[in-house]
A and B are shown apart, each in its own frame.
Chain A
């Protein structure tokens, strides 16, 4: 038996209380294209970041060519023969293809006085390119190149070191068209033939069927199984079945009864923001939770910020309680009655060194102060304690800096801030990132409680969440709204709508 190119044994990684990676065993053979599948948070990104030296593993062994390696930074990984191309490759936009490929390597042989010898760069670049069945003019600058050309430049840059044996590609096809994808696949096939192993993250099963020799499925920080495309054909498995597994149904509260639905509170028509999303229309009633599912870059983050006034509306209209609103800033949105629980609570939601009272009252200082702006200190403290109890803040201390709370409890403080702001529409973005499962259930319960008196929108890159918490949901795929016809999406349909742009594959 030959030695595999890469072998991981019982690799684990924790972030605080979250088990991002749990006892992962994984084998990458020499000269194979191996795909990694899994929903967001499944652990595949953490896994490749450990392989490429961005994160350091907590436990386990990683072997390359049978020798154990210990990478503490990306340089170590490259020395061990592992090169990585990120999802959005970092190329220098106003350098040419040649210059980018050999960036940081120009003076490998020459002394620093001789500068960059362009003719040598050109010869070596052409030499490298000639090994592959693709045609690119490397003398053009990166900013004039198409998405696939940039991807290829990034790959050439990664393998320019001759000793690279393993290439990691993080969602290389997410921005490519069908034709461009074929070019990339040709390049991958040539690399495979030359003995380089490729580890390749994707969301699309049909690509796996086309290009991969084997694939592994990640779910909840574990490697669930490794299979070949042939096995999928034989057993007629669907991608959703592979990626989702069991539901976490128990975490989510009961859905609303039709009788609980109140009046129309938000009516959004044909909303557009630049080229990030367009023609988004939906209605929201009091008493219901609307789910929005979309991958990173699908436009959900921008959609939430347009509704909240932090980004401009380029087209379309928003009606709140029957009156047209177009908030120019979060201050105006808050005044109109919209509250955003932002995706990155540490950056966008909280003043970490300040107390809970400070944070809870911040979004509605008018309510927190009386004549001439004097803060109603005892009333604010009382209200904060009341809301802290309602969101079951633990520890129930409203005067200590919020940096001392866990992720889940920090999120509860942002919800308490929303309660104090007293809005008609609450928008949650990625509400449970970095929140452990117990606090998660509590947060979902809080959303349901908020929905009793107001409208709630939950936007998430986690399909289970967007589907499980909501009464109905739609997906955003590359800025295009995908809605169900005449009924609500099933979980699998929502997943397909979000990652393929089409619900009918489910």
Chain B
């Protein structure tokens, strides 16, 4: 029986996940002992914050059973917007607000086009993503922006520590906690899930499915800006492909988490993001070129999607019952 649920699935899956984290950590430590150093763990938590924030918004889009391929381009656009504003000497929080607003506009456009005008999600978001990515070049004709970055205070977002770890990690945990309550304990979360699972029945139950689909795209765009702000803070400069690296880890986090914990949920995405970040960090520590590690992450993403697909799991269970007819699964519905 498929077990996508509003609740994170059973303890067995959580234990399996913990075991996987442990094995992965042990393997990396065995090859490169620096993996467990304070410095590296601090880096893992920082990178996890950026990846996790982008994946959080994407989780909502995947829950309403859509795809958003634009948020990386949108993040680039927002990064340059924020960089341009910082260079102009504006207050840091105002700069971030404007960046968030710019992304929200793109997200709202996506949502409108897809939910109200019924355009195909993948094509639409590829288009808006490249438009936004192109707009990112307008501020400086593609040149890197770094003016005022040191004095603006944005670097503190990267450097500030709490109990020895980056503040951004605690921000991530706090936002995930809020998202978990929102998605799994309120009527709004229930409506997101109802919209994704069966939009027709949700509509007949009085759920404004179009509004929820649109909101998912807006939230996805906004959290990708949160992620790119952390990237800006880490590098201290803004350039036109700052958000581009967000796409693959976010998808890998969402789908790997869903495959591990048996359904798309806030907690599953957090778990998936932890694994992906550990992998990426471990590879870079070992000096594996990024084009290999990207390949590995993409392969993992593909595996996650395949495992998440109900038909594939049905196939596996059919195979299992074929090999072991004694434990023949419960009678299948016609």
Name A's B-contacting residues (CB within 8 A). Answer: 15-16, 308, 310, 329-331, 333-335, 340, 342, 347-355, 358, 361-366, 368-369, 372-375, 377, 401, 403-404, 417
**Given A362-B202, A374-B187, 13 additional A-B pairs, CB 8 A:** A15-B334, A330-B206, A334-B205, A334-B206, A347-B198, A349-B204, A351-B193, A354-B197, A355-B5, A362-B207, A364-B206, A377-B185, A401-B1
Contact of B205 among A330, A353, A366, A403 (CB under 8 A): A330
In the bound complex, CA of A354 to CA of B187 (Å): 14
Are the C-beta atoms of A353 and B4 separated by less than 8 Å? yes
**Given A331-B208, A351-B194 in contact, is the A368-B201 Cβ separation under 8 Å?**
no
Are the C-beta atoms of A403 and B198 separated by less than 8 Å? no
Q: Confirm or deny: B116 has a beta carbon within 8 angstroms of a beta carbon on chain A.
A: no
Are the C-beta atoms of B197 and A352 separated by less than 8 Å? yes
Are the C-beta atoms of B186 and A403 separated by less than 8 Å? no
**Complex: chain A residue closest to B181, CB-CB:** A374
Q: Confirm or deny: B45 has a beta carbon within 8 angstroms of a beta carbon on chain A.
A: no
Are the C-beta atoms of B206 and A331 separated by less than 8 Å? yes
In the bound complex, CA of A229 to CA of B222 (Å): 73
Are the C-beta atoms of B5 and A404 separated by less than 8 Å? no
Are the C-beta atoms of B208 and A369 separated by less than 8 Å? no
CB contacts (< 8 Å) of B185 on chain A: these are: 374-375, 377
Q: How does the 8 Å CB contact mask read for B179-206 relative to A, with 1 for contact and 0 for none?
A: 0000001111011011001101111111
CB contacts (< 8 Å) of A351 on chain B: these are: 193-194, 197-198, 201-202
CB contacts (< 8 Å) of A331 on chain B: these are: 206-208
Considering the complex of A and B, which 6 residue pairs feature the smallest CB-CB distances, nearest first?
A331-B206, A365-B187, A369-B187, A363-B205, A373-B186, A334-B206
Are the C-beta atoms of B193 and A372 separated by less than 8 Å? no
Write 11 A-B pairs (CB below 8 A) sorted by A numbering: A333-B206, A335-B206, A348-B201, A348-B204, A351-B201, A352-B197, A352-B198, A368-B190, A374-B185, A377-B185, A417-B205
CB contacts (< 8 Å) of B333 on chain A: these are: 16
Q: Could you tell me the distance in whole angstroms from the C-beta of A303 to the nearest C-beta in chain B?
A: 15
In the bound complex, CA of A342 to CA of B203 (Å): 12
Are the C-beta atoms of A340 and B204 separated by less than 8 Å? yes
Q: Could you tell me the distance in whole angstroms from the C-beta of B329 to the nearest C-beta in chain A?
A: 13
**Complex: chain B residue closest to A414, CB-CB:** B201
Are the C-beta atoms of B334 and A365 separated by less than 8 Å? no
Contact of A401 among B3, B187, B203, B206 (CB under 8 A): B3
Q: Confirm or deny: B118 has a beta carbon within 8 angstroms of a beta carbon on chain A.
A: no
Are the C-beta atoms of B186 and A374 separated by less than 8 Å? yes
CB contacts (< 8 Å) of B193 on chain A: these are: 351, 354, 358
Q: Could you tell me the distance in whole angstroms from the C-beta of B127 to the nearest C-beta in chain A?
A: 29
Q: Confirm or deny: B10 has a beta carbon within 8 angstroms of a beta carbon on chain A.
A: no
Q: How does the 8 Å CB contact mask read for B1-43 relative to A, with 1 for contact and 0 for none?
A: 1111110000000000000000000000000000000000000
CB contacts (< 8 Å) of A329 on chain B: these are: 203, 206, 208
Are the C-beta atoms of B1 and A403 separated by less than 8 Å? yes
Among B200, B202, B206, find the residue whose CB has the most chain A CB atoms closer than 10 A. Answer: B206
Contact of B187 among A349, A352, A368 (CB under 8 A): A368
In the bound complex, CA of A335 to CA of B208 (Å): 13
B225-268 at interface with A (beta carbon < 8 Å):
none
In the bound complex, CA of A329 to CA of B210 (Å): 12
**Complex: chain B residue closest to A357, CB-CB:** B6
Are the C-beta atoms of A362 and B194 separated by less than 8 Å? yes
**Complex: chain B residue closest to A332, CB-CB:** B206
Are the C-beta atoms of B5 and A401 separated by less than 8 Å? yes
In the bound complex, CA of A347 to CA of B204 (Å): 10
**Complex: chain B residue closest to A331, CB-CB:** B206
**Complex: chain A residue closest to B188, CB-CB:** A373
CB contacts (< 8 Å) of A377 on chain B: these are: 185
In the bound complex, CA of A354 to CA of B1 (Å): 12
Q: Could you tell me the distance in whole angstroms from the C-beta of A374 to the nearest C-beta in chain B?
A: 5
Q: Could you tell me the distance in whole angstroms from the C-beta of A455 to the nearest C-beta in chain B?
A: 19
In the bound complex, CA of A233 to CA of B142 (Å): 90
CB contacts (< 8 Å) of B206 on chain A: these are: 329-331, 333-335, 363-365
**Given A330-B204, A351-B201 in contact, is the A362-B5 Cβ separation under 8 Å?**
no
In the bound complex, CA of A505 to CA of B321 (Å): 57
Q: Could you tell me the distance in whole angstroms from the C-beta of B312 to the nearest C-beta in chain A?
A: 16
Are the C-beta atoms of B190 and A365 separated by less than 8 Å? yes
Are the C-beta atoms of B6 and A369 separated by less than 8 Å? no
Are the C-beta atoms of B201 and A350 separated by less than 8 Å? yes
Q: Could you tell me the distance in whole angstroms from the C-beta of A149 to the nearest C-beta in chain B?
A: 33
In the bound complex, CA of A313 to CA of B1 (Å): 42
**Given A353-B2, A353-B4 in contact, is the A375-B187 Cβ separation under 8 Å?**
yes
**Given A347-B200, A375-B186 in contact, is the A354-B5 Cβ separation under 8 Å?**
yes
In the bound complex, CA of A200 to CA of B297 (Å): 60
CB contacts (< 8 Å) of B207 on chain A: these are: 331, 362, 365
Contact of A375 among B190, B194, B197, B208 (CB under 8 A): B190
**Given A350-B201, A417-B205 in contact, is the A362-B190 Cβ separation under 8 Å?**
yes
**Complex: chain B residue closest to A335, CB-CB:** B206
Q: Could you tell me the distance in whole angstroms from the C-beta of A365 to the nearest C-beta in chain B?
A: 4
Are the C-beta atoms of A347 and B187 separated by less than 8 Å? no
Contact of A330 among B5, B197, B203 (CB under 8 A): B203
Are the C-beta atoms of A358 and B188 separated by less than 8 Å? no
**Complex: chain A residue closest to B1, CB-CB:** A404
CB contacts (< 8 Å) of A352 on chain B: these are: 197-198
Q: Could you tell me the distance in whole angstroms from the C-beta of B310 to the nearest C-beta in chain A?
A: 9
In the bound complex, CA of A366 to CA of B3 (Å): 27
Among B190, B197, B333, find the residue whose CB has the most chain A CB atoms closer than 10 A. Answer: B190
In the bound complex, CA of A349 to CA of B198 (Å): 9
Are the C-beta atoms of A353 and B204 separated by less than 8 Å? no
**Complex: chain B residue closest to A361, CB-CB:** B190
In the bound complex, CA of A340 to CA of B204 (Å): 8
Are the C-beta atoms of B5 and A365 separated by less than 8 Å? no
Q: Could you tell me the distance in whole angstroms from the C-beta of B115 to the nearest C-beta in chain A?
A: 14
In the bound complex, CA of A441 to CA of B3 (Å): 32
CB contacts (< 8 Å) of A401 on chain B: these are: 1-3, 5
CB contacts (< 8 Å) of A364 on chain B: these are: 206
CB contacts (< 8 Å) of B204 on chain A: these are: 308, 310, 330, 340, 342, 348-349
Q: Could you tell me the distance in whole angstroms from the C-beta of B3 to the nearest C-beta in chain A?
A: 7
CB contacts (< 8 Å) of A375 on chain B: these are: 185-187, 190
**Complex: chain A residue closest to B331, CB-CB:** A16
Among A310, A349, A358, A365, find the residue whose CB has the most chain B CB atoms closer than 10 A. Answer: A365
Are the C-beta atoms of A354 and B6 separated by less than 8 Å? yes
Are the C-beta atoms of A349 and B201 separated by less than 8 Å? yes
B163-190 at interface with A (beta carbon < 8 Å):
185-188, 190
CB contacts (< 8 Å) of B188 on chain A: these are: 373
Among B188, B197, B201, find the residue whose CB has the most chain A CB atoms closer than 10 A. Answer: B201
In the bound complex, CA of A279 to CA of B203 (Å): 27
